[in-house]
Amino acid sequence: MNPATGKQELSCKRCRYRKLRCTRTVPCINCATAGAGCEYEKIDKRRNPPSSEYTISLRNRVASLEAFIQELRDAPPPRRDEMLGPAAYTQGAPNIPAAGPSQVIQNDTTARALLKPDAEGSLVYHGATSIFNSDLLSTSESYPSPTQSLYAESNFDHVMDHFGIKLEDDTVFKALQQFFRWQYPHFMFVYREAFLRDHFGERKGCKYWSSALLLSICALGLLMSETEGERSLSEQFFQAAESIVMVSGLSRPSIPTVQSFLCLAFFEIGRGNVSKGWAFSGIAFRMAQDLGFQSDPMNWLPHDSTIISSEDIEIRRRIYWGSYISDKLISLILGRPVQLAFDSAEVDLLEFITDGPGMEYWRPVGFGDDPEELRVLSNIPYLKEQIRLYRIVEKMMTTVFSPRTPRTQTDVFTRQTLLDNLNLELLQWRDALPAFAKWNKWSTSVTITPAVATLHLLYSSIRIALNYESATTSNVASAREAALLSCTTAAQDILALVRVYKMQYGLRHAPLILIYASIQASRSIEKFGIPEEQSYLVGCLAECSHTWSIAGQVQGPMPAVNVDAYHELV
């Protein structure tokens, strides 16, 4: 039912069957007059027509294949064999499976992977080929008990004192609130409920809390503060977290250490220290693999006695998938190879869990407290859509932008096939979005939640990244025009999203993906758009640089513009 009009979205079953004009009330006038029962479909089964972009992509895909077949027919035998060689490049686009539990078949190789305690007592992963997975080694070692394998939190009070930090100070509480309100949906490798429970508990023998993790979360949270004084404290928290994790974290891998390194990685990348941020993220991903997170936690139940509840299982899955999407985001921003491959893991997707009691103060902005609207009480449905989208990013980074991808003139059809496949997958992803995650710039609603904005900023920036080179350099007119349309459409969508986000929330709280999307849109508009639109985005990047200084490093100069037209955009 539409809450604004009080009417159903569809006609009732009886009116539809008899092709009568239905009032869509309960009951409708026709059924009330006839004294018949009035029933409505609970689910709208109508399918929206395919978008023009999707139709154009299909048309270009067919044209590309027809041209390839024609060239194949005319080619001499040696050339024909060469063209048919790289089958991986020319096969059709694989379907993207809907978000749901993975069906893992345990083979002998996987079954031989195990967790064993290292010298420090941490359980670490050893695959089938590991020298520690040999029958020659002693098997007398017993797996540690939960208390033995918990994160050993040393006394770091001297570090806090050195940096002038007090854990019970209001600054820590405010920083945590800012993080979970603005940053948490983008850093889902942190499990909010478990972390807060340990933080507000005794902080002893914690599996999901450490002083380094607390400090690194606070460093990110303080970036979102309204006052310059609080924002300046983020550096102190960062340095304190870095001091602790570099001394104690590397020798004993743990869940909080993985999370700490990832938080520090985003902090460094956000302020433009990309080499250090890249290194920190690499440590986090390697440590997650060291702990065996690439295998579903259900496989470790006989080995890891710290997995004692369904929450422990879900936390480990969350950390893996949070790390997976973080890896793709970092690779996208920096244009570097991905580290965590989808096919190298066997982790089930996440369960839908609503917020527990007491979470109303820690919910991300845009998530209401209406118990009837279950979807808005969890970020998991949006996270699942991000996973599906980042799988396409992984394919893009490992094919189109791989050094091994053919780039010669004779391989133009191979490359175009890759682009066509990925463009189709992107459009299929957008069209398959559930209703709560859909958005278009012509919508009558002028509001948008940060979770929805993030999804569509990511989608549009990927489209530009994928098609920009073809739009500017392709010698095939049809391919160039299709790529140009993709870039200009995506840039206009980003412009609309940034404008709405700025109007609703301001850019002080903008996520990193908004900066990446603005840069992609700006370079597209610089080439194909109007100067006033580019100037607006450059101005937005300047605002974002107060929070993420990397935005100031890459925003570029302000182009010459028509002042009146610029103020109309603002």
d(CA 409, CA 430) in angstroms, rounded, equals 32
Q: Is residue 175 part of a domain?
A: yes
Which residues share a beta bridge with 2? 7
Q: CA–CA distance from 142 to each of 117, 218, 246, 296 (Å)?
A: 8, 38, 29, 22
The pTM of this model reads 0.78
Q: Is residue 136 part of a domain?
A: no
Q: Is residue 238 part of a domain?
A: yes
d(CA 521, CA 493) in angstroms, rounded, equals 9
Residues 174 and 241 in one domain: yes
Residues 483 and 419 in one domain: yes
Q: Are 290 and 253 in contact (CB under 8 A)?
A: yes
Q: DSSP readout, 245-311?
A: IIIIITTS--HHHHHHHHHHHHHHHHTT-HHHHHHHHHHHHHHHHHTTTTB-GGGGTTT-TT--SHH
Range of the domain at 502: 381-569
Q: Are 337 and 405 in contact (CB under 8 A)?
A: no
Examine the fold and report which residue of 300, 329, 361 is the final residue of a domain before the chain moves on. 361
Q: Is residue 22 part of a domain?
A: no
Residues 333 and 449 in one domain: no
Please give the tally of structural domains in the chain.
2
Residues 397 and 531 in one domain: yes
Residues 316 and 172 in one domain: yes
How many CB atoms lie under 10 A from the CB of residue 438? 14
Residue 418's nearest CA partner among 86, 97, 99 is: 86
DSSP label of 344:
G
Residues 500 and 542 in one domain: yes
Residues 163 and 287 in one domain: yes
Residues 429 and 312 in one domain: no
d(CA 552, CA 543) in angstroms, rounded, equals 9
Residues 158 and 196 in one domain: yes
Residues 352 and 425 in one domain: no
Q: Is residue 81 part of a domain?
A: no
Residue 144's nearest CA partner among 246, 296, 254, 289 is: 254
Q: Is residue 130 part of a domain?
A: no
Examine the fold and report which residue of 328, 361, 394 is the final residue of a domain before the chain moves on. 361
Q: Is residue 445 part of a domain?
A: yes
Query: Over its length of 570 residues, how does the chain's per-residue pLDDT go in tens digits?
Result: 555 455 777 888 888 888 898 988 889 999 999 999 998 887 665 556 666 666 777 777 777 777 777 777 777 777 676 666 654 344 444 444 444 444 444 444 455 666 666 655 566 666 667 666 665 555 444 444 444 444 445 567 778 888 888 888 899 999 999 999 999 999 999 999 999 999 998 888 788 999 999 999 999 999 999 888 899 999 999 999 999 999 888 888 899 999 999 999 999 999 999 999 999 999 999 999 999 899 898 887 777 777 878 888 999 999 999 999 999 999 999 999 999 999 999 999 887 666 667 787 888 888 764 444 544 467 888 999 999 999 999 999 999 888 776 666 556 677 888 899 999 999 999 999 998 899 988 876 678 899 999 999 999 999 999 999 999 988 888 888 999 999 999 999 999 999 999 999 999 999 999 999 999 999 999 988 778 888 999 999 999 999 999 999 886 555 544 444 444 554
